[in-house]
Amino acid sequence: MANAAKKSENFIQKSSAQPRTLKRWQTWYSLVAFLYMYLPIAVLTIFSFNKSPSPSQWTGFTWEWYSKFLQNPTLLAALTNSISVALVSVSISAVLGTITAVGLARYYFPGKSLYRGTTYLPLIMPDIAIAVATLVFFAAIKLPLSLATIVIAHIVFCLAYVTVVVSSRLSNIDPKLEEAALDLGATPIQAFTRVLLPQLLPGIVSGCLLAFILSMDDFVIAYFTAGVGATTLPIAIFSSLRSGGVTPELNALSVLLIIASGSMAAIAEAVRGWGKH
């Protein structure tokens, strides 16, 4: 009996020690992962305030590179193009994505599974495949490359992201609410605009914000589908890196882009969470 009690006590001690060891390893793993992801961003941010144009030594604090970016006509024109492309492509994707999500969730038609799969396909396809396919399509129909072709190409993946987010929101909405509105005399359009759309709004907004960030950050698809003079911000940054290397001005621009993207992602998550309550 004494031996059995002793073995039981040892087993309990070992069992209690394992969670502590596992928790310690999880803590260290999380720290290493965060350092790996965010240390380069921290270094980038620090050297964006460096007086010296050299990235190898610190000579003092300055806001000079941020003001130089705001006075750079090439980068500002590219930023304007990127914002214009993102706004147009996301606006069109918001309408089409919402209609697609509602149609896939509320209606049944032949080939629905195939249509659903093709709608979500841009989420898993490599960007280079989408870029080449879109470029070949434009060449086949002899459409000149311009900002409009970038917008068309961006709608392809923006539509998929908006549809996914809206579909996720739609799965939590009881379809009986729409049926009740129809029973009370509402037309299908009134049931959609007055009952379903207000509940879908948080999902639509968060999906649009996510698609806007992805459109602003896209380089590969825009590079393949841009015409002469249709330069977006990622393309302008790439051209600047090839000609002059990494400069503090680009560091400052990158920091601003990180802040903007992080803020929009946080807003999207807050809106998505607000929509659940």
Residues 126 and 28 in one domain: no
Question: 2 lies in a domain?
Answer: yes
> What CATH number does residue 70 fall under?
1.10.3720.10
For residues 12 and 99, state if they share a domain.
no
Residues 237, 141 within the same domain: yes
Among residues 221, 260, 222, which one has the least CA distance to residue 82? 222
The count of structural domains within the chain is: 2
pLDDT, one tens digit per residue, over 214-233 is: 999 899 999 999 888 788 98
Q: Of 262, 269, 32, which is closest to residue 165 (Cα–Cα)?
A: 269
Domain membership of residue 55 (yes or no) is no
Q: What are the φ and ψ backbone dihedral angles of 61, each rounded to 5 degrees?
A: -90, 140
Q: For residues 260 and 201, state if they share a domain.
A: yes
What is the average pLDDT score of the chain?
82
Tally the residues of the chain: 277
Please report, to the nearest 10 degrees, the dihedral formed by the alpha carbons of residues 94, 99, 104, 105 taken in order: 90
Cα separations in angstroms, 108 against 104, 146, 148, 208 = 7, 38, 34, 26
Handedness of CA 52, 56, 58, 59 (dihedral sign): negative
Tell me how far apart the alpha carbons of residues 56 and 245 are, in angstroms, rounded to a whole number.
14
Pairwise pLDDT comparison (192 vs 218), residue with the higher score:
218
- pLDDT band of 52, cuts 50, 70, 90: confident
Nearest to 156 by CA among 187, 182, 184, 131: 131
Instruction: Find the mean pLDDT for residues 83-101.
Output: 93
Residue 57 belongs to a domain: no
Assigned domain for 52 exists? no
Tokens of 25: 């390893």
The SS3 of residue 61 is strand
Taking residues 44-67, report their average pLDDT: 78
Same domain, 75 and 207: yes
* Average pLDDT value for residue range 198-211: 88
Question: pLDDT tens for residues 250-263?
Answer: 888 888 888 888 88
Count of C-beta atoms within a 10 Å radius of residue 73: 7
Query: 18 Cβ partners below 8 Å, 6+ apart?
Result: none
Is residue 249 within 8 Å of 72, Cβ to Cβ?
Answer: yes
Containing domain of residue 232, as a range? 64-274
78 and 183 inside one domain: yes
- Reported as a single tens digit per residue, the pLDDT across 242-251 is 876 777 788 8
53 in any annotated domain: no
* pLDDT band for position 168 (cuts 50, 70, 90): confident
Q: Which residue has the tokens 């993946």?
A: 157
Residue 3 sits in the same domain as residue 132: no
Which of residues 13 and 91 earns the better pLDDT score?
91
Q: How confident is the model at residue 11 (pLDDT cuts 50, 70, 90)?
A: very low
Contacts of 64 (CB under 8 A, 6+ apart): 51, 248
84: tokens are: 């214009």
Residue 208 has pLDDT above 60, yes or no: yes
User: Between the CA of residue 87 and those of 181, 183, 213, 220, what are the distances in Å?
Assistant: 33, 38, 10, 19
Q: Are residues 124 and 33 in the same domain?
A: no
The neighbour count for residue 104, using CB atoms within 10 Å, is 20
